[in-house]
A and B are shown apart, each in its own frame.
Chain A
């Protein structure tokens, strides 16, 4: 983890009519870190993630991603990020290789480079035997791992993961996080939203959102100390849902 900021957010506001989904968010994310974005459903984390990945425009505030201002250089931002959403992001009627070729092509990689990368990627996942298989025939865990590999195929500065492990079995989740660590050690910043609190423990830093605001932001250890809790789960219950306590 370095001191170089890859995401800078100042006073980000996003309104839908009179509803304020993001209320004056300000935070930084540093190169190579795994940044967890926590919050209950409807807390506004997906809205913020969509803004950072260029899918939606903020109502006001300054946001720069990978060194580019998202208002003026949205196209440049998109070249330097990877994105994987809640729903499955590969095409089910295309084969493994076809999916990789497609996304590699969309990000402007040369055919040769894609082929080299495909071989390497499939070997490291132990998927070489499945190259020509249709995605729809593969088990969910396998698909998610593949989707993540495809999202970082073009070596982005940052990869945005929106609840990537939803519906995946614990073993695959474990393997998925190993992939995230690997990506992070390769210098890719990982920005991940999740509602699995055990996953929050794996992050370098986490921010907790509640009702459109960031109510806490620190390392898991720092948070636990500050709120004298045994786990991030307890911290979350204390601060994100004060009414339920």
Chain B
């Protein structure tokens, strides 16, 4: 045991003396949380709009002020003619233009029907979609309000939409599970595989193998610090997202931590497997980055929903571990579900861990023979 602890201590010295390692360990998680939290948004807030309203009557003004009073839009410009629309878009301040029909209010009261044209900036399809649907919703709201005292003839269905778990459809509810998944894979798999490959490349692995330390102890000694540090990282990420972005863990924190420990173990065994397959640090880093980081970001469902992928990507997605862990984190953190609903995903992760450990120990033994 004493031999083992001395070995673990040495591993910590490696980590704390290397600035690059420290940056990856603590700089990247914090940076990712802040980047995804502030910069990458899939919801809109304070989108600039312009108005082309030739009638400027009571109703159109009320509608505009209602749009403005929501958090979603800011009125940037009052256009005077159609010709200004194009230049206004090109100036880049606005995401959409609302064009009121001539004599808007008059027509609405007189004929009961008047048109509004919503012209959105299609060069940003996601934003355009959001802007138009938000605008429609606000206009509908207004209509209902006006109609309340004297409902029009005929029946009317009024759908009320609620976004469960995330009432304002805020994207940060999505990125925290994503960041946790990516960071843990990065630290566990990449850092461990590089750390072990480094011993091989420098020749110190030979000396260790010729010593009374058992191979299992060498491997455990290498991964223990990364186990501890990635757990600390997990706590930091959860704390940051609670403190800065106000995202709570709705389910059991203990369950979330236990599941994360399983996922950390999986990452470590994956890292060990990569290191047994690669001869140099560069190789290990290449496999980890290309084979792990990209699929994690693209195929895990973090950014692109898995359900809408072509079948081949869905198949690929189901064999990468992050896909399953992201479900667990989302369920436990955002929905507050308990173990009864994530046991299948847990079992898949457990199975994958065992596969990685088996492959690593097999390649390791073959190397000794």
CB distance from B365 to the nearest CB of A (A): 10
Given A92-B202, A94-B13, A98-B10 in contact, is the A108-B212 Cβ separation under 8 Å? yes
A83 near B6 (CB under 8 angstroms)? no
B6 near A79 (CB under 8 angstroms)? no
Given A102-B7, A106-B6 in contact, is the A93-B17 Cβ separation under 8 Å? yes
Q: Which of B10, B203, B212 contacts A102 (CB 8 A)?
A: B10
- Bound form: Cα–Cα A88–B207 in Å: 10
Q: Which of B7, B17, B207, B214 contacts A84 (CB 8 A)?
A: B207
A106 near B206 (CB under 8 angstroms)? no
Within A76-103, the residues touching B (CB, 8 Å) are: 78-79, 81, 83-94, 98, 101-103
CB distance from B13 to the nearest CB of A (A): 6
Q: Which residues of B contact A79 (CB under 8 A)?
A: 212
Q: Which of A57, A75, A89, A107 contacts B204 (CB 8 A)?
A: A89
Closest Cβ neighbor of A82 among chain B residues: B210
Given A102-B7, A107-B212 in contact, is the A55-B206 Cβ separation under 8 Å? yes
- Whether, in the assembled complex, A187 has its beta carbon less than 8 Å from a beta carbon of chain B, the answer is no
A53 near B212 (CB under 8 angstroms)? no
Q: How many A-B residue pairs have CB under 8 A?
A: 73
- Bound form: Cα–Cα A86–B13 in Å: 25
A81 near B203 (CB under 8 angstroms)? no
Q: Which residues of A contact B369 (CB under 8 A)?
A: 56-57
A85 near B202 (CB under 8 angstroms)? no
- Whether, in the assembled complex, A67 has its beta carbon less than 8 Å from a beta carbon of chain B, the answer is no
Given A87-B203, A89-B203 in contact, is the A55-B209 Cβ separation under 8 Å? yes
Within A122-151, the residues touching B (CB, 8 Å) are: none
CB distance from B294 to the nearest CB of A (A): 30
CB distance from A89 to the nearest CB of B (A): 4
Q: Which residues of A contact B202 (CB under 8 A)?
A: 87-88, 91-92
Closest Cβ neighbor of B213 among chain A residues: A106
Within B1-52, the residues touching A (CB, 8 Å) are: 2-3, 6-7, 10, 13-14, 17-18
B210 near A55 (CB under 8 angstroms)? yes
- Whether, in the assembled complex, A105 has its beta carbon less than 8 Å from a beta carbon of chain B, the answer is yes
- Bound form: Cα–Cα A55–B206 in Å: 7
CB distance from A159 to the nearest CB of B (A): 11
Q: Which residues of B contact A87 (CB under 8 A)?
A: 202-203, 206
- Whether, in the assembled complex, B211 has its beta carbon less than 8 Å from a beta carbon of chain A, the answer is yes
Q: Which residues of A contact B211 (CB under 8 A)?
A: 78, 83, 103, 106-107
Q: Which residues of A contact B3 (CB under 8 A)?
A: 105-106, 108
- Bound form: Cα–Cα A92–B369 in Å: 29
Q: Which residues of B contact A85 (CB under 8 A)?
A: 203, 206-207
Given A56-B368, A107-B211 in contact, is the A86-B203 Cβ separation under 8 Å? yes
A93 near B18 (CB under 8 angstroms)? yes
Q: Which residues of B contact A107 (CB under 8 A)?
A: 211-212
Q: Which residues of A contact B206 (CB under 8 A)?
A: 55, 83, 85, 87, 89
CB distance from A216 to the nearest CB of B (A): 28
Q: Which residues of B contact A98 (CB under 8 A)?
A: 10, 13
Closest Cβ neighbor of A16 among chain B residues: B369
Which 7 pairs between the two chains have the least Cβ-Cβ distance? Answer: A87-B203, A105-B6, A83-B210, A89-B207, A78-B212, A85-B206, A53-B210
**Additional pairs, 20, CB under 8 Å, beyond known A87-B203, A106-B208, A108-B2:** A54-B209, A55-B206, A55-B368, A75-B212, A75-B214, A78-B212, A83-B210, A85-B203, A87-B202, A88-B203, A89-B206, A89-B207, A91-B204, A93-B14, A94-B10, A94-B14, A98-B10, A98-B13, A103-B211, A108-B3
Query: A-contacting residues of B (Cβ < 8 Å)?
Result: 2-3, 6-7, 10, 13-14, 17-18, 202-204, 206-214, 368-369
14 sampled A-B residue pairs with Cβ under 8 A: A53-B210, A54-B209, A54-B210, A56-B369, A75-B214, A81-B210, A87-B203, A91-B204, A93-B17, A94-B14, A105-B2, A106-B212, A106-B213, A108-B3
